[in-house]
Chains A and B, each alone.
Chain A
């Protein structure tokens, strides 16, 4: 099973974006750009998602929503910030209700630039996320294997 690559599922959450990046995320999943050919699938359920795509900055109201979504996702997980608002807060950085980019509340692995981010850039981000996810899940597997091996050791080894 070790050489089988995984097909991570995507979860998209609209922080406080202007819609541009959301529409582009959707467009990159529809057949014209077809990000699904890289083995990903769009899902609405955080409990089954592996890659979180966040668009838009974080405001006081969705701060907890994003945190909760991140917590609900099973390990290993990858977070992609799509668009400049999700990266830094973008053009809205000085607004009173914007706290900043997505990395204010969750650790972000991949930053996709653009306003609005182009489908090409989003697909590039997704491919990088898939690779990172593969790497992390291998690490995760190794960790689980080591822990199992440790658990199987005779009790005397512990003393």
Chain B
């Protein structure tokens, strides 16, 4: 029988001004950024920043819930590779993110429809 390492995934809800601090802590803790995604639920954005550990297979998701008008800081100054995820959220959802290291200015996918998953979704 093979070994199984499957700690239950954790979802940790944090206020938006703690985001950078927690991301820094995750990075120092040896986690790797696994994915970032957004969801538009009941008039609010739910942003999920997931981190995985390559040895213990832990999976921790930081959850930030914000109003559509709230601007959040980019995590690219801590984890540069997050730029594709953040550009995607910005373009598809219309999440307001400041200071992305390489900002594609809503030209990552170059779609015609503006923020198809965002507040104006059908």
Contacts and interface: CB of A to CB of B under 8 A. Distances in A.
Is there any pair of Cβ atoms, one from A and one from B, under 8 angstroms apart in the complex? yes
Interface of A: 60-61, 96-97
Dominant secondary structure at the B interface:
loop
A60 B116 CA distance: 14
| Residues of A contacting B: mostly | loop
Interface residues of B, number: 6
A123 B22 CA distance: 56
9 closest A-B pairs by CB: A96-B116, A60-B112, A96-B113, A97-B111, A61-B110, A60-B111, A96-B111, A97-B113, A60-B110
A69 to B, nearest CB: 18
Contacts of B113: 96-97
A97 B112 CA distance: 8
Nearest to B111: A97
A127 B111 CA distance: 36
A60 B109 CA distance: 10
A61 B113 CA distance: 12
Nearest to A60: B112
Contacts of A97: 109, 111-113, 116
B15 to A, nearest CB: 32
B86 to A, nearest CB: 20
Interface string B97-122: 00000000000011111001000000
Interface string B1-32: 00000000000000000000000000000000
